[in-house]
Chains A and B, each alone.
Chain A
Amino acid sequence: MWDFNRLKKCNGIYSGWRYGLVLGGTAIAVMWIVSGGIKLHNIWMFLDSVMQFNLLPHWMLGPFSVALPIAEMMIGCGLFLGAISLVFRRCMGVGRPLFWATLGLGMGFLGVFSCAMAIAIYKGLSVLCGCFGGTDLVGWGSIARNGVLIGGHFLVGWCGFVGQQESL
């Protein structure tokens, strides 16, 4: 079993998971907010990308291309607030579920994006990724990047888990 006390007592202060949560959580939160913001800013470009994936029925394309960036920005904001709440032990009643819900949603989104990309690659489609407003074509590199981001979410989640153990 993991001995969380050893991590918690690093240098005599509760530092490890806090830095992980603040830095990692903020980085991932900023990533989601920027990603959603760019997609909203370039909404027609993003809509075009979604169309090219050929996975959604036509009636869903428009609302989806608006809803997804909004959800991403909400995930970013929620993750940041949740991480801050865990670190500073404020509003924990809302902060903790907010943290885990947004973290789970973030990982779920990345998983779904990766599946969509894998299907596009399998079908041999030349699709603009639409990731971070970029204009690169979808490829295995995009899926690998999503894998790295999911790993980042796991790390932040682990820091949150350690912090949660302390607050019990």
Chain B
Amino acid sequence: MQLNHKWVWIIGLSILGVSIGIGLVGWRYLTAELPQDTLQDTVIKQRLLSTYIPMETGVGQVDVAQAYLLHRYQLAIFVDARVDYAHQRLRIPSSIRLHPKEYFFLKHRLRPYDKTQLIVVYCHSIQCPLSTQLAEAMRQDGFVSVYVMHEGLKEWFKRKFPVESDYVGL
């Protein structure tokens, strides 16, 4: 039996057509309860964040992907719990360094920020306890939304998310 090329095209185009149809209908269904300007970045961002990022107050954990979204949309302050030389060597861009042992001497670094500001604390890796210690200290100091990026900078770097360094070539 010879292969009928016409049917290959018909089936291929049908799959595309049905997908596009479901896409149009599905998108209308998904955005039925949203405002009319649903294609605005802000609406998509809000939906994305409300779906994937816990916004309740307290000390919790976020994974690297959630932290990346928070960083990209500049919704959280990133605090590096490691020591100074490690921070200088490699850090998440625009993060603040604050070692838990130095917290009460250096907490003025957080003074510009509101206590309700979402904060993500990170350390080197999942084994590192500093981020949890710092998050606890910050919570006791009155910060209400402190999250620990428990996988640490190691995983962040591994995923090729943006980093910065004081050293040339890193």
Interface residues of A (CB under 8 A from B): 42-45, 47-48, 51, 58-59, 61-68, 70-71, 74-75, 78, 92-94, 96-98, 100-102, 104-105, 126, 128, 135-137, 139, 164, 167-168
Taking CB atoms, residues of chain B closer than 8 Å to A70 are 18-19, 22-23, 26
| Given known A-B contacts A45-B52, A63-B24, A51 and B11 have beta carbons under 8 A apart | no
Asked if B39 contacts A44 (CB within 8 A), the reply is no
Interface residues of B (CB under 8 A from A): 1-5, 7-12, 15-16, 18-20, 22-24, 26-27, 30-31, 38-39, 41, 44-45, 47-48, 51-52, 64-65, 68-69, 159-162
Taking CB atoms, residues of chain A closer than 8 Å to B51 are 44-45
Q: How far is the CA of A17 from the CA of B10 in the complex (A)?
A: 26
Min CB distance A25 to B, Å, is: 16
Taking CB atoms, residues of chain A closer than 8 Å to B22 are 66-67, 70
Taking CB atoms, residues of chain A closer than 8 Å to B68 are 128, 135
Min CB distance B110 to A, Å, is: 27
Taking CB atoms, residues of chain A closer than 8 Å to B39 are 58-59, 61-62
Q: How far is the CA of A104 from the CA of B39 in the complex (A)?
A: 32
- Closest 3 pairs between A and B when the two form their complex, measured CB to CB: A67-B23, A71-B19, A135-B65
Q: How far is the CA of A113 from the CA of B43 in the complex (A)?
A: 26
Asked if B15 contacts A167 (CB within 8 A), the reply is no
Asked if A104 contacts B23 (CB within 8 A), the reply is no
Asked if B4 contacts A97 (CB within 8 A), the reply is yes
DSSP majority for the B interface? helix
Asked if A135 contacts B19 (CB within 8 A), the reply is no
Q: Which of A48, A78, A92, A126 interacts with B11 by CB under 8 Å?
A: A78
Q: How far is the CA of A63 from the CA of B48 in the complex (A)?
A: 16
Q: Which of B1, B38, B69 interacts with A167 by CB under 8 Å?
A: B1
Q: How far is the CA of A146 from the CA of B36 in the complex (A)?
A: 37
Asked if A44 contacts B24 (CB within 8 A), the reply is no
Q: How far is the CA of A68 from the CA of B10 in the complex (A)?
A: 19
Asked if B30 contacts A43 (CB within 8 A), the reply is yes
Min CB distance A63 to B, Å, is: 4
Asked if A45 contacts B48 (CB within 8 A), the reply is yes
Q: List 29 A-B contacts (CB under 8 A).
A: A48-B45, A48-B48, A62-B27, A62-B39, A63-B26, A65-B23, A66-B26, A66-B27, A68-B23, A74-B18, A78-B15, A92-B1, A94-B7, A97-B7, A100-B3, A101-B8, A101-B9, A102-B15, A105-B15, A128-B65, A128-B68, A135-B64, A135-B68, A136-B159, A136-B160, A137-B159, A164-B3, A167-B1, A168-B2
